[in-house]
Structure 1
């Protein structure tokens, strides 16, 4: 189980660092990090570069375990703030289709980013002299797994609402794309529910992690190779996200807060 948690932590840290690096060539925020509120802002590039540097440093700190707990707690808090005060308002105010579940993909993905950060933080016991902010953020650690599961359930529902769109994402060589679309939807919804309810938690999280990792290899990498620059590298972003999401599932399966269980 410790190996699962370690693997998941490295996958997650790699995702964070790569998302930060991906912003640099475009001098812009990835929409999954920050919605396009600031498109006309003159200092947008400078802000994007700064956020890129911070994300890269956070990712490396998580990978190499340099203040990983503190970094992850703050990172998780930042992601939650971005969801509440940037992603959600953007959808409600700027997106005329906000009533459609499919347009909420970026806020839901960022919720998984926050989930992963708190899962990483839960790997390590708290320090003796943590400040008030870290003590408050520590309260979110038990929700790691739940945030991810909410997104997985809603993404599973998307597979039934937007069948034609999802079918187009399937590799051309894969037979029965409609079947696999529904199968994936059921798998996501089932894993999300069982993780939230802690029914066969480790098994459910392992199966979810393996499933997403297979999508990382069979679906997202080939699509990124075929179209690495479209929509400012959106397919490449999906590669990083799939790796990170599988890592979060592995951390949940590996008992990310096992120090509490052995205390």
Structure 2
């Protein structure tokens, strides 16, 4: 199980190192995402970039991991409250905004799982799992940017769309059941990683300087890393009160 945790950590941390670098490469654009009523937009763009990189290093070397993971989770929670929720209120009919919001909830949950504290891990697991159900349901609506992640050279793309959605939902049910968590989470991790590589690698090879493509790729890699981390979590069995141990 330790190997699964290490694998998940590396995927997750690598994604946030890329995100951190992007905050310096595209600081002007990132600054526009900061709510208008908050001062010093460019400062916060650089500050978050540094925070992402430092948190990633802490997670990789396993030094102050509890502190950095919790702070990273809180930062992502602030993004959800300050950026995603206002965007969803203003544009409730845009599925891509919902997708970005739930992706950040999932990676926030992963940050809590990396904290290594049982209560935080439990909360993080559910914060990770629920968004995956929402992402899975989008495969049944055939939302264009979701369906696009099924490689076009697959025959019967819509059929594969359904299959991916069904597998994701079954895996999440297994994760949330506690009793059968490891295998479904590992299946989900392999599925998400495979889809991310099949979709993003050809696009990045075609245009390696496409910042938006790198962001999408790293989001998918971070979420796949979260699934590997879930697969390594200890299984918790809940017994009715009064049952003998």
Taking structure 2 as the reference length, the TM-score comes to 0.85
Shift of 1:102: 4.3
The aligned counterpart of 1:118 is 112
Q: Deviations over 1:78-130 (max 9, x none)?
A: 222321343212321x32xx1455431121111112111111112xx6xxxxx
Unaligned runs of 5+ in 1: 126-137, 259-263
Shift of 1:19: 1.0
1:240 aligns with 2:234: no
The aligned counterpart of 1:84 is 81
Aligned residues: 236
The aligned counterpart of 2:150 is 170
1:48 aligns with 2:28: no
The aligned counterpart of 1:213 is 193
Distance 1:29 1:15, change over 3 A: farther
Distance 1:153 1:172, change over 3 A: same
The aligned counterpart of 1:200 is 180
Q: Measure the CA separation in 2 of the matches of 1:153 and 1:99.
A: 19
Contact preservation (8 Å) 1:109, 1:151: yes
Distance 1:58 1:165, change over 3 A: closer
Within-5 A mapping of 1:12-91: 12-28=12-28, 36-38=33-35, 43-91=40-88
Shift of 1:193: 2.0
Distance 1:90 1:183, change over 3 A: same
The aligned counterpart of 2:241 is none
1:4 aligns with 2:8: no
Unaligned runs of 5+ in 2: 237-245
SS of residue matched to 2:188: helix
1:105 aligns with 2:106: no
Shift of 1:206: 0.3
Tell me the C-alpha RMSD between the 2 structures: 2.6
Q: Deviations over 1:223-258 (max 9, x none)?
A: 23334455xx22211221222111111111112699
Shift of 1:56: 0.8
Distance 1:172 1:204, change over 3 A: same
Q: After the TM superposition, which of the residue ranges 76-85 and 153-162 deviates more from structure 2?
A: 76-85
The aligned counterpart of 1:143 is 123
Q: Measure the CA separation in 2 of the matches of 1:54 and 1:257.
A: 32
Taking structure 1 as the reference length, the TM-score comes to 0.79
Contact preservation (8 Å) 2:35, 2:83: no
Q: Measure the CA separation in 1 of the matches of 2:66 and 2:190.
A: 25
Distance 1:257 1:228, change over 3 A: farther
